[in-house]
Structures are given as C-alpha cells and as structure tokens.
Amino acid sequence: MRAWLVAILVTAVPAVARACPVCFDANEQNRAAFIVTTILLSTLPLAMVGVIVLWIRDSARGPEAGDRSTSGAPASDPLRSDRAREGRA
C-alpha cells in the first residue's frame, strides 16, 4: 500500500528534465569525450571486480583449495609469520 502511495506521489509531481549544462555540449568531440569516459568509469570497476570474483572462484575450484587437516595439531599456526606459514614454493 505504501509502495503504491509513493508511486502515485512520484508520478504526480513531474518536472521538466533539462540537459545538464556541464556534460552536454554542442561540440561533438566534447560530447563523445563525456560519453566515452562515462562508459570507462562505469564499466571498469565492474569488470575488475568480475575478474577478481572469477579468479577467486577458479582458485577455490583448484585441487589445493579448501584443504582440510583434522589429524592432530593444526597444520599451521595462524600466529606464525608469513614466511613460516607459506614457505617457499
């Protein structure tokens, strides 16, 4: 019910939307620059996060991912230093 009320209020008070004087320009080159950079800044973070997610997913599917050790003492002490825990490949 509240959603309907909000929807009615939103549609009942329209105003004219004018082009932004900052990003609209009669110059074709400038308009193209705005469009290209907007696309770049919008899609770049999404693409990078997507790549990271895929990378983590592929790493999780690897043979060493989620290796569990329940025999006796823990295989590694989380309080040990980076070099001691990871060792040399």
Partner 1 sequence: MSRVAILPVRKPIVPSAVLGMVVFVVTEVMFFAGLISAFVIVRSRSIGPWPPPDQPRLPIEATALNTLVLTASGLAVYAAWRRFARGAEGARRGLMAGVALGAIFVSVQGAEWAALLREGMRLTTSAHASFFYLIVGAHALHVVAAMVVLVRAYVLLRADRIGEPTLRAATILWCFVVAVWPVLYLLVYLGAGA
What residue ranges bind partner 1 (CB under 8 A)? 25, 27, 29-30, 32-34, 36-37, 40-41, 44-45, 48-49, 52, 55-56, 59-60, 64-70, 72-76, 82-83, 85-89
Query: Cβ closer to partner 1: 7 or 86?
Result: 86
Amino acid letter for position 32: A
The pair phi, psi for residue 38, each rounded to 5°, is -65, -45
* Minimum separation from the CB atom of position 17 to partner 1 (A): 22
Sign of dihedral through CA atoms 21, 24, 28, 34? positive
